[in-house]
Amino acid sequence: MKVLGIETSCDETGVAVYDGRAGLLGHEVYSQIALHADFGGVVPELASRDHVRKLAPMVRALLARLDLPSAAIDGVAYTAGPGLAGALLVGAAFARSLAWAWQVPAVGVHHMEGHLLAPMLEADQPAFPFVALLVSGGHTQLVRVDAVGDYRLLGESVDDAAGEAFDKTAKLLGLGYPGGPALAALAAQGDAQRFQFPRPMTDRPGLDFSFSGLKTFALTTLREQEAALPASEHARLHADIARAFEDAVVDTLAIKCRRAIEQTGCRALVMAGGVSANRRLRARVDALMADLGGRAYYPRAELCTDNGAMIAYAGWQRLRSGEHEALGFGIRPRWPMQELTAGG
Ligand code: KG4
Ligand code: ZN
């Protein structure tokens, strides 16, 4: 079964074809970063309009590149939520129209399920059960995964997501949008000894996170130090703050991952979502899992951030278990993952 996957939940247009036998046949991602950069963040209306412009040509180009006629597609999967309502609607309407025209089933996929199943697109897959750390611009969650569709939320952020904290702190430091990769690059030049930021919520039991205080801590440090130092020292100051911030986020995530592994007894940890592209976080989680006698798994970098391949894969899992939708369609801008059940 070949499934076309469509991702439009935020500022990336992703299309892909996943084949149950051959695996991922191909995927394309178009990032709207340049479109939103002048505004310092995603403008929902511009995002929707750009998805409208890009979707049809991208699907046509992908099928042509893979030398696949539309008749070869057995189903269409699209991101039904969570995400920006207008952007989701564009993908949903487009996917359902294609499915209607091609007379194949369609299925709406949960964006975070897509992220957490993304490591299954790689040859080296984790075995169930595993713990997934989902770290993106909108979510920070620890989830126990017993099977496809069997997810138990262990903990999540009570305020900002890790990626959001990266983006906001990057903005304070005068870096562009999206700030995560830029902040990580700056942190690489920073001195880890100069500032010590707190590790929020690690001094009490539980697996929830809180990252909004770290951003405030960065702001306060920045203001105090900038006032006390000559301008020639500011560039180094920014790098040292970026380093202290990144270390605090990485350390906090690692502490909670250790707890989640110890609590569940799982041997594998899967990391997914945009922040899992962070090199320092990967190194830290690799070391942690080696120490615990287990292993960490991540999708390749291009499948960590938003993409159509993870949606095609999650959709294939649901379609092959017989799940698909009636002709009407809906989207869910807010959608707790605990409401998902196993397919079938
Ligand atoms: O999963 P994703 O592409 O989109 C959402 O569903 O949110 O994640 C995007 C987030 C942004 O906040 C971005 O700044 C962050 O991932 N990010 C990073 C890195 N690369 C992307 N954060 C820290 N370090 C990185 N290398
Ligand atoms: Zn995402």
* Per-residue confidence (pLDDT) for residue 102, from 0 to 100: 95
Low pLDDT (below 70) residues in the chain: 326-329, 344
Is the CB of 138 inside a 6 Å radius of any atom of ligand 1? yes
Q: Which secondary structure element, helix H or strand E, spans residue 296, and what is its range?
A: strand 295-297
E strands in 99-247: 106-110, 130-135, 140-147, 150-156
Quote the Cα angle for 81-38-158, to 5°.
40
Among all bound ligands, the one having the nearest atom to the CA of 168 is 1
Is the CB of 83 inside a 6 Å radius of any atom of ligand 1? no
What is the whole-number distance in angstroms between the Cα of residue 114 and the centre of ligand 2?
8
Tokens for 215, please give them: 């951003």
Domain ranges of the chain: 2-116+303-339, 128-298
* Per-residue confidence (pLDDT) for residue 177, from 0 to 100: 80
For the chain, give the longest Cα–Cα distance. Answer: 68
Among all bound ligands, the one having the nearest atom to the CA of 278 is 1
Indicate the DSSP class of residue 72. Answer: G
* Per-residue confidence (pLDDT) for residue 14, from 0 to 100: 98
What is the whole-number distance in angstroms between the Cα of residue 138 and the centre of ligand 1?
9
Find, among 332, 331, 314, 266, the residue nearest to 133 by Cα. 266
* Per-residue confidence (pLDDT) for residue 57, from 0 to 100: 98
Crossing angle of the two packed helices 162-172 and 234-264, in degrees rounded to 10: 170
Determine the 3-state secondary structure of 253 from DSSP.
Answer: helix
Quote the Cα angle for 269-166-169, to 5°.
155
* Per-residue confidence (pLDDT) for residue 328, from 0 to 100: 66
Fold of 2-116+303-339: Nucleotidyltransferase; domain 5 (3.30.420)
Tell me the C-alpha distance between 337 and 318, whole Å: 15
The single residue listed with the structure tokens 């986020």 is 249
Tell me the C-alpha distance between 138 and 118, whole Å: 17
What is the whole-number distance in angstroms between the Cα of residue 306 and the centre of ligand 2?
5
Do 2-116+303-339 and 128-298 show the same overall fold? yes
* Per-residue confidence (pLDDT) for residue 37, from 0 to 100: 83
Residues in the chain: 344
Determine the 3-state secondary structure of 161 from DSSP.
Answer: coil
Quote the Cα angle for 309-120-24, to 5°.
40
**Tally of CA atoms within 13 A in the half-sphere of 24 that contains its CB:** 23
Is the CB of 184 inside a 6 Å radius of any atom of ligand 1? yes
Among all bound ligands, the one having the nearest atom to the CA of 137 is 1
Query: Domain spanning 128-298 has what CATH number?
Result: 3.30.420.40
Is the CB of 10 inside a 6 Å radius of any atom of ligand 1? yes
Q: What is the dihedral of CA 117, 120, 122, 123, to 10 degrees?
A: 170
* Per-residue confidence (pLDDT) for residue 327, from 0 to 100: 64
* Per-residue confidence (pLDDT) for residue 82, from 0 to 100: 93
The strand pair at 23-31 and 12-19 is best described as antiparallel
> Bridge partners of 109?
79
> Bridge partners of 2?
19
Q: Which atom of ligand 1 is nearest to the CA of 11?
A: 4
* Per-residue confidence (pLDDT) for residue 176, from 0 to 100: 84
